[in-house]
Structure 1
Amino acid sequence: SAYAIPTMAFSFLCHTSVLPIYCELQSPSKSRMQHVTVTAIGLSFLIYFVSALFGYLTFYDKVDSELLQGYSRYLPRDIVIMTVKVAILFAVLLTVPLIHFPARKAVLMVFFSHLPVSWICHILVTLMLNTVVVLFAMYVPDIKNIFGVVGSTTSTCLLFVYPGLFYLKLSREDFISRQKLGAFALVIFGICVGLLSLVLIIFNWINE
């Protein structure tokens, strides 16, 4: 599927939360942050893997892009399905502020850095971002389209392209060194995967 790699890239994208989490550590250090990262990614992978496995074993090639919708169609009043929905509701509500903080800060830095800090600007940007999110949620027909486009563009850049470019820019090693060649390969891989996925998604839209 054209959505597979972009969706995985989107799912494991947690870069925007790294700095706030690092600042909240009791004794911030590189080793502690690595431990937090490995634990979080490992648990996320386990949850995604179990969900995907049982979703496939249940529906095979008829899996919906929203897995719970598939289960709800066949078990509309099942207590387990309802419990999972409520759990996801609370998880999303508690996650939104963590994701919203870097988004708002980026908008303020890019577009309003020349203005003095004010609560009015702060509130207006917050309302604007929330409005955009709600409009997407209301009018985008399938969530896989969001995962696909965002995953093939911003997620691949944040996961592969930008880290490689930063290393190439900041490192003083020779370009033919193993580290710089690896960083360059990471950049090329990210660009190719992102562009190929985006093109396939667009062709998929045209065919549909």
Structure 2
Amino acid sequence: MSVFNLSNVIMGSGILGLAYALANTGIILFVLLLASMALLALYSIYLLLKCSKETGLMVYEKMGQRAFGTPGRLAVFGATFVQNMGAILSYLIIVRNELPLIISYLLGGESSIYCRAWYLDGRFLIVLVTVFLILPLCCLRNLGYLGYTSGFSLACMVFFLIVVISKKFEYLCPLSAHNESLYNLTDRLSNLTSKEEKCKANYFVYHSKTIYALPTIAFAFVCHPSVLPIYSELKGRSQKKMQLVSNASFFAIFIMYLLTAIFGYLTFYETVETELLHTYKSDSILVLIVRLAVVIAVVLTVPVLFFTVRSSLFELFKKTMPSLALHIGVTIILLVAADIFVILIPSIKDIFGMIVIGATSANMLIFILPSSMYLKLVKKRNRTRIYVGIFLGLGILFALITVPLVIYDW
């Protein structure tokens, strides 16, 4: 159950943007970046577990408080809140955008008299999903119970991966799934030269968009705010056992990320869109089922992330054992606020998108906070401190490179 929960936290909307990141880096550079970020994220979890063992603390915010006082607690809360709420909002955006298309297709498509019905409005549907699915799961007080829903969520994403792989062999040389009807035998023969050029895989790519692959990949591996809550509920808890849980989760997700990105890219090459799901032809029944699987997966991921957001909020106000009424009340308020943002601000995904979160809070949670807390809390003088210092330097360098680029792009 711990592996399911941690894998579900790692897996998210980040998987939809990795094929586009690969298109902007090339296959070899992307594989190197993906493997490096996975190993670095795992190392930062190792540092977190070391800090937990050294201090006996099982809460990220309390570690920040022990290391740097109130500024440390606020830094952990800020990074956790931005990362997880940003991810939750992006998941709700996916539900709002995809669910009406799925239901509309089931009712007969755009030509149907039902396609413009009020109950197919994404804003209404997101409220409905929140009330009847997300809210009951978010009201659970024990994270362990969500292991079952996390397992089902991961199964949906495995199905998504299988379809992505199968579609590669269905399209011989497509330039866009929206125009896939153009790619018959006659077209392939008459436009062979141009299509060969556009359907050629690149192994190394460097241009103005290449640097944006870094925060996208970083965003895809952030799970650190949920590590300690999962660790605290692990049976027979030990640092070694939690590290094994982390290793298994990261290895499984790394393989899924790698296969999804490579096969998604080799299906559409340079025409792949920023969100892979949008590149496929929307009136295919198989793609419809995939869209539904992704919607189910992100809906079942929201409660796991929400658990950490709520716990972090309680820790900020030092409410370690909140009453049931407060627990449910805060849950409702946060979900209402999230739904209002998703309903009223259509560009919220741009604000809380993978690039912005990856360049800011993801960098804090992967690099800066674990390494700086280790240097402050673990007093042993050994060679490890040198490695941790280098690791902290990488985080600072990452911020110096990506944050100015995001600001410049704005």
TM-score higher than 0.5: yes
Residue 122 in structure 1 maps to residue 323 in structure 2: no
Residue 123 and residue 185 in structure 1: after superposition, are their counterparts in 2 closer, same or farther (change >3 A)?
same
Quick one: distance in 2 between partners of 1:26 and 1:68?
A: 38
State TM-score, norm by structure 1. 0.83
Residue 45 in structure 1 maps to residue 254 in structure 2: yes
Quick one: distance in 1 between partners of 2:337 and 2:211?
A: 25
Where do 4+ consecutive residues of structure 1 move more than 4 Å? Answer: 118-121, 141-145
Q: 1:58 aligns with which of 267, 275, 292?
A: 267
Match of 2:295 in 1: 89
SS of aligned partner of 2:211: coil
| Structure 1 stretch displaced more, 136-145 or 17-26 | 136-145
Match of 1:183 in 2: 388
Amino acid at match of 1:69: H
Match of 1:161 in 2: 368
Q: For residues 143-158 of structure 1, what are the structure 2 equivalents within 5 Å?
A: 146-158=353-365
Q: For residues 2-13 of structure 1, what are the structure 2 equivalents within 5 Å?
A: 2-13=211-222
Identity of matched residues, %: 36
Q: 2:243 aligns with which of 31, 34, 40?
A: 34
Q: Is the 8 A contact 2:216 2:358 kept in 1?
A: yes
User: How many residues are matched?
Assistant: 199
Amino acid at match of 2:218: A
Cα drift, residue 102 of structure 1: 1.2
Quick one: distance in 1 between partners of 2:239 and 2:305?
A: 22
Match of 2:399 in 1: 194
Deviation by residue 1:99-152 (Cα, 9 ceiling, x = unmatched): 101111212222x33799445543443234324443258522655961111111
State TM-score, norm by structure 2. 0.44
Match of 1:172 in 2: 379
Quick one: distance in 2 between partners of 1:121 and 1:160?
A: 33
Q: Is the 8 A contact 1:22 1:28 kept in 2?
A: yes
Residue 12 and residue 115 in structure 1: after superposition, are their counterparts in 2 closer, same or farther (change >3 A)?
closer
Quick one: distance in 1 between partners of 2:391 and 2:408?
A: 26
**Higher Rg of the two aligned structures:** 2
Q: Is the 8 A contact 2:314 2:320 kept in 1?
A: no
Cα drift, residue 199 of structure 1: 1.3
Q: For residues 60-75 of structure 1, what are the structure 2 equivalents within 5 Å?
A: 60-71=269-280, 75=281
Residue 194 and residue 103 in structure 1: after superposition, are their counterparts in 2 closer, same or farther (change >3 A)?
same
Residue 26 and residue 65 in structure 1: after superposition, are their counterparts in 2 closer, same or farther (change >3 A)?
same
Match of 2:305 in 1: 99
Q: Is the 8 A contact 2:359 2:402 kept in 1?
A: yes
